[in-house]
Structure 1
Amino acid sequence: MDINFEYYKIFYYVAKYQNLTKAAHALNSSQPNVTRAMNCLEQEVNCTLFTRTNRGVCLTPEGERLYARVSVAMRQLQLAEEELSESVGLEHGSISIGASEIALNIYLLDRLKKFHTQYPGVGLKIHNHSTPQAIRAVQNGEIDFALTTTPTNIEAPLKEIRLKGFQEILIGGRSFEALKHQEMSLKDIRQYPFICLGKQTTTYYFYNQLFLVCGLEIVPDTEAATTDQVLPLVKSELGLAFLPEEMAKEALEKQEVCHIPLKEKIPKRYVCMVYDSKRSMSVAAQRLKKILLEESEKNEE
């Protein structure tokens, strides 16, 4: 038989929905066109495939046998289309990410290297954002997703997935080495010059809340524009500062800075992914998201 394969596609949707109108809608066609195609198919195969009901149509025994074969073929074609689309997306796609410096330094860079090795054709656009800026960029649809630090204070439809916990420590330059043998309190810190990020950052908000709980107020002597500026400022003896332990590790090993113990426990913070649950992502962005989540699961094991 030389049957138009488009008839089989239409047959598949009619059988799937058991309704001519719904099938027409799925095919972006009209009900008369769908009905005409099914009449032609029945003439070609020389048997009745559907019977009409009050709610639509149902398959005859012959229709059931044909649908069993056609549905398998349609699924294989759909899978082939998805694989082709994914292949193209991972060869020539692009991803736009907003990342805070802490998230970039202690989590994202290593994962981006792994992703780029696997998919060298995918373009990466990394925007250097503070956490509030990154969240606004996600809300506005300017980026695929953001890697930020807690607290995020997001609202639906945005979602947050915690990827990695990190601990911050108090550090000082060599001139403050005598303090590493003491146990300082947050109140004691106010006796020394203090370095902190600007008021529009999540880190400032986090520490301001921490100080307020103790009835204190942050009064920084030096405000850094970015987290990457904090360590050089500490090395230059401009004051004490809080920094993720991982970012201070090398400088501590070289004894360029010292770790100053605190009486108060600094709450753990997290690198997290923030994305819009109602906005679809490109194939490339979905793959990078999957890699980041898989790496997060490994960290928890």
Structure 2
Amino acid sequence: MITKLDLYKVFCQVGKSKSFSKASKELYMTQPAVSQAIMQLERELDIRLFNRTPKGVSLTNEGSLLFEYVNSAINLINVGEEKILEFKGLTVGELKIGVGDTISKYFLLPYLEIFHNRYPNLKFKIINGTTIELCALIKSGEIDIAICNFPIDDPSLELIPCGEIRDVFVCGEKYKDLSKGKLSLEEMVKYPLIFLEPNSNSRKYVEKFMLSKGIKISPEFELGSFDLLLEFARINLGIACVVKEFSRDYLEKGLLYEVNVLEEIPSRSIGVCYLKSVPLSLASTKFVEILCAANSSLNI
């Protein structure tokens, strides 16, 4: 069934070609079909659009006026279709990612580089925040996806684990001997403790585990930066609870030592989250695929 839009496309091509036969070749239609389409449009509009002559056709005054609008509209439609194809090919657009400072620095950067190299015309918008803040930003539509510390208890969010991390305790030279044996959690909490702030998802996870063992912590220092945890431990201010995978540089260089505890904290995940009710954009889907393909386990 021929639609009104089809009729206008035929009209526009005839107006450009000034010939039914030439227009039929451009449109891959028969000449009678082109003539029939123009007659149908003229009947529907109740006006003559073309002057027919033995040498071809020319637009009437009314036809010229209509042609200006129809030609502009069809051009806009064509541009819109091209833009859609560009989005499908990931040659334009923006990916809005929410992420915490620590995950951004120690985990995310290599994958941003991989994605950018594959899709150089896509723009990034990176918004930093805590896990709680990022979940709120997802729900408000301000970001497409968030890279967060799990676990997250929110039924409105889809959670995709990308890799495992382990929380461990580390110390500087002053407490180096604690790395040689096995220390119970009860013994360890007698030392000065260095933790992230209480609203941190990482802090909550470790604190919940220790409470399950009947141990309540009272840190000597509560910090807002993961890097400060490492530095405070390095200058012997106490024992810091850190993510082992993000502390390898300090551990491998001998700046910090891992405290061996009898009851290790269970590993947890870093992952992507997004709203269940909103399908991921193509750009977001491709980025998640890159993250998950590279991180069956974290080797940073």
Q: TM-score if structure 2 supplies the norm length?
A: 0.69
- Deviation per CA, 1:34-59, whole angstroms, max 9, x where unpaired? xxxxxxx8x969xxxxxxxxxxxxxx
Counterpart contact for 1:101–1:228, Cα < 8 Å: no
- Please report how far the alpha carbon of residue 170 of structure 1 lies from its aligned counterpart in structure 2 after TM superposition: 1.2
SS at match of 1:91: coil
Correspondence list, 1:129-140, <5 A: 129-140=129-140
Tell me which residue corresponds to 1:234: 233
Q: Find out whether 1:213 has 2:215 as its counterpart.
A: no
Query: Between the two proteins, what is the percent identity of the paired residues?
Result: 24
Counterpart contact for 1:145–1:274, Cα < 8 Å: yes
- Please report how far the alpha carbon of residue 292 of structure 1 lies from its aligned counterpart in structure 2 after TM superposition: 2.2
Counterpart contact for 1:95–1:144, Cα < 8 Å: yes
Aligned partner of 2:124: which letter? L
Between the aligned partners of 1:149 and 1:265, the Cα distance in structure 2 is 18
Between the aligned partners of 1:250 and 1:85, the Cα distance in structure 2 is 39
Aligned partner of 1:103: which letter? I
Please point out which of 62, 68, 88 is paired with 1:86. 88
Tell me which residue corresponds to 1:278: 277
SS at match of 2:91: helix
Tell me which residue corresponds to 2:26: none
- Please report how far the alpha carbon of residue 81 of structure 1 lies from its aligned counterpart in structure 2 after TM superposition: 7.2
Correspondence list, 1:98-177, <5 A: 98-156=98-156, 158-177=157-176
Between the aligned partners of 1:4 and 1:96, the Cα distance in structure 2 is 39
Between the aligned partners of 1:150 and 1:203, the Cα distance in structure 2 is 8
Q: CA, structure 1 residues 190+5, in 2 after alignment: closer, same or farther (shift >3 Å)?
A: closer
SS at match of 1:183: coil
Tell me which residue corresponds to 1:223: 222
Structural RMSD (CA): 3.0
Q: CA, structure 1 residues 86+151, in 2 after alignment: closer, same or farther (shift >3 Å)?
A: same
- Deviation per CA, 1:111-158, whole angstroms, max 9, x where unpaired? 1110111222222122222111111111111111100011111222x1
Q: CA, structure 1 residues 268+102, in 2 after alignment: closer, same or farther (shift >3 Å)?
A: farther
Aligned partner of 1:141: which letter? G
- Please report how far the alpha carbon of residue 175 of structure 1 lies from its aligned counterpart in structure 2 after TM superposition: 0.7
Aligned partner of 2:258: which letter? H
Counterpart contact for 1:197–1:224, Cα < 8 Å: yes
Tell me which residue corresponds to 1:254: 253
Between the aligned partners of 1:215 and 1:160, the Cα distance in structure 2 is 30
SS at match of 1:92: coil
Counterpart contact for 2:182–2:261, Cα < 8 Å: yes
Q: CA, structure 1 residues 298+234, in 2 after alignment: closer, same or farther (shift >3 Å)?
A: closer
Structure 1 gaps of 5+ residues are: 10-40, 46-78
Between the aligned partners of 1:187 and 1:240, the Cα distance in structure 2 is 14
Aligned partner of 1:128: which letter? N
Aligned partner of 1:84: which letter? E
